[in-house]
Structure 1
Amino acid sequence: MDLDDGHDAGPKADLPAGQPRTRARLAAVQALYQMEMTQRDLSLVLQEFLGRRFETVEIYAGADRSFFRDIVEGIARGQAKIDLEIAAHLASGWKLSRIDSILRAILRSGVYELTDRNDVPARAVINEYVEIAKDFFGGEEPGVVNGVLDRVARAKRSREFGRKSGGKGGPTKAATRFGDDSSEN
């Protein structure tokens, strides 16, 4: 998908049919990316996605529109809190602003769901956003998403994991490179 700034923000592969929340998550990541890159207002981006893109872009067909809206509006409302949560799980010296804008949108979306959508299991959130990261990146970025979201999930939803976070061993190569000092999930 080509955005107004000339960047291609589309995933590398199509999603399987029949996954409304997966499609909504992908659309939310792309909407957040668009808002950041073009400085467009939330209401305009929501209108564009809900009024046009969901009808004309095949990869969004069947997306859960209310779930999409909840993610995007929730991040817009709570971005400062979400960014602090992400920053708390990055390695010392790393800043969220140093991370690729698509990766930042993926992390924000995942952290929003982990902190504000307790109706979605933490492991499902992590898996979904790792898969979205794989659609956009061929390198170590999916491991970074996995590491950061796993640490947030263990801190915020430890009951779902049956133990406190603590992890074994040291940080992964990807986690160290991109600023996350946790072990992978």
Structure 2
Amino acid sequence: MSQARTNARKAAVQALYQWQMAGQNLSEIERQFLEEERLKDAQKSYFVELFYGVPKNLDAIDQVLSEFVDRPVDTIDPVERAILRIGVYELLYRLNMPYRVVLNEGINLAKDFGADGSHKYVNGILDKVAQQTRAGEIKAKGAR
């Protein structure tokens, strides 16, 4: 997985966190990230896809999340919520991306940005989502 794409995910977590907390206009947040050169080492097109794709598909993403979390999605820690939303987005809409990559990236984002142990929570939720949304892919991998 490219470092530029990983950096795009990191920036998307921060931007989505800001959007969740402040409710600012998406294009305003994107402008800030560009001006502050926070996307310098990131794949900008992937950042844009995630940053606009998550809010655009928020109802579907949160619907899937709500099946697997132990509390209302809105009450999940905002950092973990941003990471989970990106992971679910990728599992649902980036079918060309292996589910293991999505899980690993989510775990690493939680280790970078989340509270102690949050990577275990993120892994558990994304794994359950993957079992449901990527069952065919998982079964095919296990059959090898």
Structures share fold, TM-score greater than 0.5? yes
Matched, 1:52 2:52: no
Contact between 2:84 and 2:122, CA under 8 Å: does it hold in 1? yes
Partner of 1:21: 5
Partner of 1:40: 24
Matched, 1:67 2:51: no
CA distance in 1, matches of 2:93, 2:134: 11
Q: Quick one: which of 110, 113, 116 aligns to 2:87?
A: 110
Q: Quick one: which of 111, 117, 124 aligns to 2:101?
A: 124
Q: Percent identity, please.
A: 40
- The runs of 5 or more residues in structure 1 that have no matched partner are 1-17, 164-185
Moved over 3 A (4+): none
Q: Residue 20 of structure 2 aligns to which amino acid in structure 1? A: E
Scaled by the length of structure 1, the TM-score of the pair is: 0.71
Partner of 1:78: 57
Pairing 1:170-185 to 2, within 5 Å after superposition? none
- The runs of 5 or more residues in structure 2 that have no matched partner are none
More helix by share: 2
The structure whose Rg is larger is 1
Scaled by the length of structure 2, the TM-score of the pair is: 0.90
CA distance in 1, matches of 2:133, 2:114: 27
1:160 offset after TM fit, Å? 1.9
Q: Residue 107 of structure 1 aligns to which amino acid in structure 2? A: L
**Cα shift readout 1:40-61 (whole Å, capped 9, x = no counterpart):** 0111112222x213x2x4xx43
**Cα shift readout 1:61-95 (whole Å, capped 9, x = no counterpart):** 3200000100111111110110111011113xx11
Secondary structure of the residue aligned to 2:57 is helix
CA distance in 2, matches of 1:119, 1:61: 25
CA RMSD of aligned residues (A): 1.4
